[in-house]
Chain A
């Protein structure tokens, strides 16, 4: 009885020709969390992605150290730039990997066949990408603090980094889904992503810089607002257009 009811309420066409009474349609949140859980448990078994992102981040920081001669004077003004460059590059690495794994192992087709809304797949992937980025950031920040003797573990700073990462993961997930289906794949993602994600990166750098140099809060507020606006707009758009980038 209940099953029949849910099936009739749901007017969307079923993806498979199974009798609709068998199809169990999980709630939006549950289904999203299931995808996140799948990604996380797969990752925590091997740590393939996170370890690659981490090692890469540390290497980038080391290169910056010598390229920019990060002495105490310079450090204060470039820290946020160095951090965000690192996060952006590491982020692309992770985004590329997490999507091409889905594609190569045919998981994407499986996900598409699942009786869930397409946007569930988007949010699931975006959240797990975000979590990977955050894990890397949470490890990189104390290491950077230690190496350069600046305290980066501040709540306001973490908040800005979280907002920036959300925007970056939101656009990145959408674009990596697209780039994974092209001929050039990995090469294409940064080219597609960086110009579109430019507002996130610049606003985050600006806000972090303001916080680190102890600027007045009103100065930080404008980039922060733009960051929030960007996050909201792009999550909404990605939510609306994701259907079009996974359609077969």
Chain B
């Protein structure tokens, strides 16, 4: 195992600091939302985790394609890292959304496009890990994993478009909104907390992925050692 790079140590410290600041901004600094009250503060982490969650799944699909082209196992480790970290963050996103929805929509869950797509996406990536678990040969595992992340990455947006045909009540935070949807309006301080949340989770995301990649190379090393010893 190579020694921990200095940059990674710095990134670790930075992650903890930005997480602290983001929490402070979200819980104390940002004003209380008038209609929904305190629970609206959940939204800063909800968006932050959702952002890195989606980013990770896109990265994973790209890394999958890169693996299929180059057959370099580093891409595979990168892909696994991205999927795993994103799955964790996306899980937080879904639960936070659910906690927010309870007082706001008076229900834990609705079959809205975003919620449903999020749930299906999460299931796709859980299936991804089940697929990987079922294959012993590391090279084949990497190949199948890459193919599956590619399929998942493409089907998720189409799922979203299809479900949107059914109905939606989710507020649109960024981008154009339908006229009949409730729109969240943010004041200046809210925007600071919002954008800092995005930044903070990006830093944490990079840090965790880096750690997971290192873990992946350690896994590979142990696997090879096992093979050598058993021979």
Asked whether any CB of A lies within 8 Å of a CB of B in the complex, the reply is: yes
Q: Is B152 touching A196 in the complex (CB atoms < 8 A)?
A: yes
Q: Is A195 touching B124 in the complex (CB atoms < 8 A)?
A: yes
Q: Is B130 touching A184 in the complex (CB atoms < 8 A)?
A: yes
Q: Is B158 touching A230 in the complex (CB atoms < 8 A)?
A: yes
- Contacts A181-B135, A183-B135, A245-B144 hold; do A195 and B162 have CB atoms under 8 A apart? no
- Contacts A206-B166, A226-B158, A226-B162 hold; do A196 and B147 have CB atoms under 8 A apart? no
Is B14 part of the contact surface with A, judged by Cβ < 8 Å?
no
Report the Cα distance A237→B165, complex, angstroms: 25
Q: Which of B130, B146, B165 is A191 in contact with, Cβ under 8 Å?
A: B130
Report the Cα distance A33→B144, complex, angstroms: 27
Q: Which of A184, A223, A229 is B165 in contact with, Cβ under 8 Å?
A: A223
Report the Cα distance A175→B147, complex, angstroms: 9
Instruction: List the 3 closest pairs (A to B, CB-CB), nearest first.
Output: A182-B134, A199-B158, A195-B124
Collect the chain B residues with CB atoms within 8 Å of residue A181's CB: 135, 140, 144
Q: Is A195 touching B127 in the complex (CB atoms < 8 A)?
A: yes
Dominant secondary structure of chain A at its interface with chain B:
helix
Is B159 part of the contact surface with A, judged by Cβ < 8 Å?
yes
Is A202 part of the contact surface with B, judged by Cβ < 8 Å?
yes
**In this complex, what residue of A is CB-closest to B132?**
A182
Q: Is A202 touching B151 in the complex (CB atoms < 8 A)?
A: no
Collect the chain A residues with CB atoms within 8 Å of residue B151's CB: 171, 174-175, 196, 234, 237
Render B110-136 as a binary contact track against A, CB cut-off 8 A, 1 for contact: 000000000011011001001100111
Given contacts A178-B147, A206-B166, A222-B165, 17 further A-B contacts (CB under 8 A): A174-B147, A178-B144, A181-B135, A181-B140, A182-B131, A184-B130, A184-B134, A188-B134, A191-B130, A192-B127, A196-B124, A199-B161, A199-B162, A206-B165, A234-B155, A241-B68, A245-B143
Q: Which of A184, A222, A241 is B150 in contact with, Cβ under 8 Å?
A: A241
Residues of chain A whose beta carbon lies under 8 Å from any beta carbon of chain B: 171, 174-175, 178-179, 181-185, 188, 191-192, 195-199, 202-203, 206, 222-223, 226, 229-230, 233-234, 237, 241, 244-245, 247
**In this complex, what residue of A is CB-closest to B68?**
A244
- Contacts A196-B151, A196-B155 hold; do A183 and B162 have CB atoms under 8 A apart? no
Report the Cα distance A176→B155, complex, angstroms: 17
Report the Cα distance A101→B40, complex, angstroms: 55
Q: Is B155 touching A199 in the complex (CB atoms < 8 A)?
A: yes
Q: Is B165 touching A244 in the complex (CB atoms < 8 A)?
A: no
Report the Cα distance A233→B155, complex, angstroms: 9
Q: Is A229 touching B158 in the complex (CB atoms < 8 A)?
A: yes
Collect the chain A residues with CB atoms within 8 Å of residue B123's CB: 195
Is B148 part of the contact surface with A, judged by Cβ < 8 Å?
yes
- Kindly identify, within residues 135 to 178 of chain B, every residue whose CB is under 8 Å from any CB belonging to chain A: 135-136, 140, 143-144, 146-148, 150-152, 154-155, 158-159, 161-163, 165-166
Report the Cα distance A237→B64, complex, angstroms: 13
Q: Is B143 touching A244 in the complex (CB atoms < 8 A)?
A: yes
**In this complex, what residue of B is CB-closest to A191?**
B127
CB distance from A220 to the nearest CB of B (A): 10
Report the Cα distance A179→B147, complex, angstroms: 12
Q: Is B135 touching A182 in the complex (CB atoms < 8 A)?
A: yes
CB distance from B157 to the nearest CB of A (A): 9
Collect the chain B residues with CB atoms within 8 Å of residue A196's CB: 124, 148, 151-152, 155
Q: Is B127 touching A198 in the complex (CB atoms < 8 A)?
A: no
Collect the chain B residues with CB atoms within 8 Å of residue A188's CB: 130-131, 134
Collect the chain B residues with CB atoms within 8 Å of residue A237's CB: 150-151, 154
Q: Is B120 touching A183 in the complex (CB atoms < 8 A)?
A: no
Collect the chain B residues with CB atoms within 8 Å of residue A230's CB: 155, 158
Collect the chain A residues with CB atoms within 8 Å of residue B163's CB: 202
Collect the chain B residues with CB atoms within 8 Å of residue A203's CB: 162, 165
Collect the chain B residues with CB atoms within 8 Å of residue A241's CB: 68, 147, 150
Collect the chain A residues with CB atoms within 8 Å of residue B162's CB: 198-199, 202-203, 206, 223, 226
Report the Cα distance A123→B224, complex, angstroms: 37
Collect the chain B residues with CB atoms within 8 Å of residue A184's CB: 130, 134
Collect the chain B residues with CB atoms within 8 Å of residue A226's CB: 158, 161-162, 165
Collect the chain B residues with CB atoms within 8 Å of residue A175's CB: 151
Name 30 interchain pairs, CB-CB below 8 A, sorted by A: A179-B131, A181-B144, A182-B135, A182-B144, A183-B135, A183-B136, A188-B130, A188-B134, A192-B130, A192-B131, A195-B127, A196-B151, A196-B155, A198-B159, A199-B155, A199-B158, A202-B166, A203-B162, A206-B162, A206-B166, A223-B162, A226-B158, A234-B155, A237-B150, A237-B151, A237-B154, A241-B150, A244-B143, A244-B146, A245-B143
